[in-house]
């Protein structure tokens, strides 16, 4: 019966995998891991990531074929922790959608709060590098008074996603789909 099958999956199999010492905690962890794996499998299938193997994908790439990317899901995705389709460039960085609370918004206050006295100087050097990408003089060689000033407010993000393209990667800058 369905009830018996669910009981076997939820109780008997995790019990067999446990050390039988404080088994309830281990069984709950096993069930949690199984749920996460099922969720990941569903996510991968809906995004076309479970079609074929890496070998068939590589063979298609070597033959010069470009596989069709899967249709994007139609549901709204408001969660930070799920992979997102990134831009098809050599590198990109995305911050989390929500800034962390409890940090000062003023640069000098944040400098004291995080204990990094060179933080304002590093921001100014970063701004110089961003505003002068073709400069032959590195920002580290420029006097602090000649660097741009920053007077805006700042936000702290604890997580970010960085994507980089490896030149030896057969799937190209868009990643494997």
pLDDT score recorded for residue 88: 54
Containing 39, the helix (H) or strand (E) segment is helix 23-46
Token reading at 87? 């831009």
Cα separation, 20 vs 30, whole angstroms: 13
Place of tokens 């000649």: 146
The pLDDT of 14-27, averaged and rounded, is 78
Each residue of 54-96: pLDDT tens digit? 777 777 778 877 666 556 555 555 454 444 455 555 677 787 8
Number of CB atoms found within 10 A of residue 32's CB: 10
Cα separation, 39 vs 18, whole angstroms: 22
Answer for the pair 50, 41: CB distance below 8 angstroms, yes or no. yes
Percentage with pLDDT > 70 across the chain:
73
DSSP, res 141: G
Each residue of 92-114: pLDDT tens digit? 778 788 888 999 999 999 999 99
> Regarding predicted confidence, which is higher, 154 or 55?
154
Angle (deg, nearest 10), helices 119-131 and 107-114: 130
pLDDT score recorded for residue 81: 46
Q: What is the pTM of this model?
A: 0.43
Answer for the pair 139, 128: CB distance below 8 angstroms, yes or no. yes
pLDDT score recorded for residue 70: 58
pLDDT score recorded for residue 83: 44
């Amino acid at each position: 019966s369905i009830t018996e099958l669910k009981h076997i999956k939820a109780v008997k199999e995790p019990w067999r995998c446990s050390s039988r010492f404080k088994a309830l905690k281990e069984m709950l962890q096993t069930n949690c891991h199984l749920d996460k794996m099922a969720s990941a499998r569903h996510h991968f299938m809906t995004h076309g990531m479970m079609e074929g193997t890496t070998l068939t994908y590589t063979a298609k790439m070597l033959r010069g074929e470009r596989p069709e990317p899967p249709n994007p899901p139609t549901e709204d995705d408001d969660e930070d922790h799920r992979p997102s389709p990134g831009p098809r460039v050599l590198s990109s960085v995305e911050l989390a959608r929500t800034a962390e609370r409890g940090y000062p918004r003023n640069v000098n206050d944040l400098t004291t709060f995080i204990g990094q006295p060179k933080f304002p100087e590093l921001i100014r050097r970063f701004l110089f590098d961003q505003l002068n990408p073709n400069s032959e003089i590195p920002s580290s060689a420029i006097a602090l008074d000649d660097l741009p000033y920053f007077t805006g407010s700042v936000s702290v993000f604890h997580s970010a996603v960085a994507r980089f393209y490896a030149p030896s990667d057969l799937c190209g800058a868009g990643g494997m789909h």
